[in-house]
C-alpha cells in the first residue's frame, strides 16, 4: 500500500508538474498523483495562491532566429530570400548577455536607476549587488551594436553618475529568467505567432478560446501554432516563477576557472551528482550560464538562510577544485524576476547527461 502523502508533499509534486507543463489541468494532476479530481482541483488552486505562481513561456532565445528567417523568406524566390537574409543578418535573432555595472563615486537611488533602465527592451532582469559590482543585468539584445547603444543611452539617462559597464555574452546551461513584455514587440515573426507568445507571457494558463475569437477554425489554428513553436524548440514549455517563494535569500555565485583542462568534466560530474542524488538541491539554483571573461560561469541562487549558502559553497568548492568561487548577495531586485521554481529535473539537460 503506497505511503500516504501530506499536503506539503503533494504541493511540491504539483509544483514539479507545473514546472514542465504550466497548462496542466486539475484532471491531469489528479491522474499523475493518483488523487481524487476534487482534491486535485483544490490543491492546484491552493498551490498557485501559496507560492504566488505566475505562468509564462520559457523561450529558447538562441532559436528565435528560425522564425524570423522564415518570415523573411515567405512568398519569395530563393535568390531574393538570400538577398534579404544577407541584408538582414545582423538583425536576425537575439543574444543573451550578463552585464555588471560599477558606479565610480556615488550610487544613484534605486528608483532613479529603474526609471533609466526600464525604457529599453533589452534588460530583462536587474538587481542591486553588495560586492565588487553595484548592479547585475540579464540582457537580451539583437547584437553587440544594440548593446552598445543601450550602454550609451544609460549613460545619458544617469547623467552625472559615472560607471563602468562590463558585458559578457552567455550560454545558458540551466534555469531561465522570465521575459518582460517589451521584448515580444521586438520579435520579427508572423503576427499570430507573436500574439500567442505575448498573450501567454501575460498568463500562460489562459485558455486558447480566450486568446482568439470563439471559432473552431481559429482555435485549431492557435493550437497548431503552439505545437509548432514547441516542436521547433523556441517554446520550451509553459512554466512558472514564484512571487511568494519559501526561500528569501538570493545571491550570485561567480566561478572563475584557474585551470581549464579538467573544469568541464568536473562541472558536469557535479551537475550529474546533483540530479542523481535524489535530493531536491536544484531548487536553490534559478539560473546557470557559462561566460568567457573571466572564463567560468555564473549561478543565481535562492536560499532560506546563510547556513544553506555556506553548505552550498563548501560543496561547490569540493567538487570544483582549481576554481575561484565568489558569492555576492542580491540586495534588491529592481526589474524583472528570478525564475524561482521547483523544476522536474527529469526534463533537464543534466538528466539527459546521465543516460
Residue 319 C-alpha cell reads as 567538487
Neighbours of 285 (CB within 10 A): 20
CB-based burial label for 224 (10 Å; 0-12, 13-18, 19+): exposed
Q: Grid coordinates in use for 28? A: 491531469
Structural domain boundaries in the chain: 7-51, 249-352
- 70-103 pLDDT, tens digit per residue, is 766 555 555 555 555 555 555 678 999 999 999 9
Q: What is the mean pLDDT of residues 290-297?
A: 89
Distance from C-alpha of 237 to C-alpha of 178, rounded to nearest angstrom: 12
292 membership: H or E segment, kind and range: strand 285-292
Which of 146-150, 224-228, 288-292, 313-317 is most confident?
146-150
Please give the grid coordinates belonging to residue 205: 494558463
11-44 burial code (b ≥16 CB/10 A, e <16): bebbbbbbbbbbbbebeebbeebebeeeebeebb
- How would residue 260 be classed by pLDDT, with cut points 50, 70 and 90? confident
Extended beta strands in 40-104, E state: 53-59, 95-103
Cβ proximity of 289 and 233 under 8 Å:
no
Which secondary structure element, helix H or strand E, spans residue 47, and what is its range?
A: helix 37-51
Q: Sign of the C-alpha dihedral, residues 31, 10, 173, 114?
A: positive
The set of cell numbers assigned to 16 is 514539479
Cα 105 from chain centre: 32
CATH architecture of 249-352: 2-Layer Sandwich (3.30)
Q: Which residues of 90-101 are buried (b: 16+ CB within 10 A; e: fewer)?
A: eebbbbbbbbbb
Asked whether 289 and 327 are in contact (CB, 8 A), the reply is: no
**Residue entry with cell 559615472:** 162
CA dihedral 331, 334, 336, 339 (to 10 degrees): 0
* Euclidean distance between CA atoms 229 and 235, whole angstroms: 5
Q: H helices then E strands: how many in the chain? A: 13, 11
Confidence class for position 27, pLDDT limits 50, 70, 90? very high
For 52, phi and psi rounded to 5 degrees? 60, 50
The CATH class for the domain spanning 7-51 reads mainly alpha
Q: How confident is the model at residue 354 (pLDDT cuts 50, 70, 90)?
A: very low
Neighbours of 4 (CB within 10 A): 6
User: pLDDT tier at 279 (50, 70, 90 boundaries)?
Assistant: low
Task: Tell me the average pLDDT of the chain.
Answer: 87
The yes-or-no verdict on residue 131 having pLDDT over 60 is yes
More confident residue, 217 or 337: 337
The pLDDT of residue 244 = 93
Q: Are the beta carbons of 67 and 190 closer than 8 angstroms?
A: yes
Q: What is the pLDDT at residue 215?
A: 52
Cβ-proximal residues to 147 (8 Å cutoff; 6+ apart), any chain: 97, 122, 139, 141, 167
Radius of gyration of the chain (CA): 22
Q: Which residue is associated with the grid cell 542523481?
A: 276
Q: Provide the pLDDT confidence category of residue 32 given band limits of 50, 70 and 90.
A: very high
The tens digit of pLDDT for each residue in 47-66 reads 999 999 999 999 999 888 77
Amino acid at each position: 500500500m503506497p505511503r500516504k502523502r501530506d499536503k506539503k508533499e503533494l504541493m511540491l509534486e504539483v509544483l514539479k508538474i507545473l514546472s514542465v507543463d504550466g497548462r496542466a489541468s486539475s484532471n491531469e494532476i489528479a491522474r499523475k498523483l493518483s488523487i481524487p479530481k476534487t482534491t486535485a482541483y483544490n490543491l492546484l488552486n491552493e498551490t498557485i495562491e501559496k507560492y504566488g505562481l505566475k505562468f509564462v513561456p520559457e523561450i529558447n532565445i538562441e532559436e528565435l532566429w528560425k522564425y524570423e528567417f522564415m518570415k523573411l523568406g515567405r512568398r519569395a524566390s530563393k535568390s531574393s530570400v538570400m538577398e534579404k537574409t544577407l541584408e538582414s543578418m545582423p538583425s536576425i535573432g537575439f543574444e543573451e548577455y550578463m552585464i555588471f555595472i560599477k558606479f565610480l563615486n556615488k550610487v544613484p537611488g534605486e528608483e532613479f536607476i529603474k526609471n533609466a533602465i526600464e525604457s529599453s527592451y533589452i534588460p530583462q532582469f536587474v538587481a542591486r549587488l553588495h560586492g565588487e559590482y553595484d548592479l547585475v543585468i540579464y540582457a537580451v539584445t539583437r547584437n553587440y551594436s544594440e548593446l552598445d547603444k543601450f550602454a550609451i543611452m544609460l549613460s545619458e539617462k544617469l547623467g552625472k553618475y559615472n560607471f563602468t559597464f562590463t558585458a559578457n555574452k552567455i550560454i545558458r546551461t540551466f534555469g531561465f529568467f522570465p521575459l518582460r513584455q517589451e521584448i515580444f514587440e521586438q520579435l520579427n515573426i508572423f503576427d499570430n505567432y507573436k500574439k500567442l507568445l505575448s498573450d501567454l507571457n501575460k498568463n500562460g494558463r489562459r485558455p486558447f478560446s480566450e486568446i482568439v475569437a470563439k471559432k473552431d477554425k481559429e482555435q485549431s489554428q492557435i493550437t497548431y501554432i503552439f505545437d509548432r513553436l514547441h516542436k521547433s524548440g523556441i517554446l520550451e514549455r509553459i512554466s512558472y516563477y514564484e512571487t511568494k517563494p519559501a526561500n528569501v535569500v538570493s545571491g550570485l555565485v561567480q566561478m572563475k576557472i584557474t585551470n581549464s583542462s579538467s573544469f568541464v568534466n568536473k562541472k558536469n560530474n557535479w551537475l550529474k551528482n546533483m540530479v542523481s542524488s535524489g535530493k531536491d538541491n536544484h531548487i536553490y539554483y534559478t539560473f546557470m550560464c557559462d561566460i568567457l571573461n573571466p572564463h567560468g560561469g555564473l549561478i543565481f541562487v535562492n536560499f532560506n538562510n546563510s547556513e544553506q549558502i555556506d553548505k552550498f559553497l563548501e560543496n561547490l568548492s569540493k567538487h570544483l577544485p582549481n576554481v575561484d568561487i565568489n558569492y555576492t548577495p542580491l540586495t534588491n531586485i529592481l526589474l524583472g524576476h528570478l525564475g524561482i521554481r521547483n523544476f522536474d529535473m527529469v526534463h533537464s539537460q543534466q538528466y539527459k547527461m546521465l543516460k
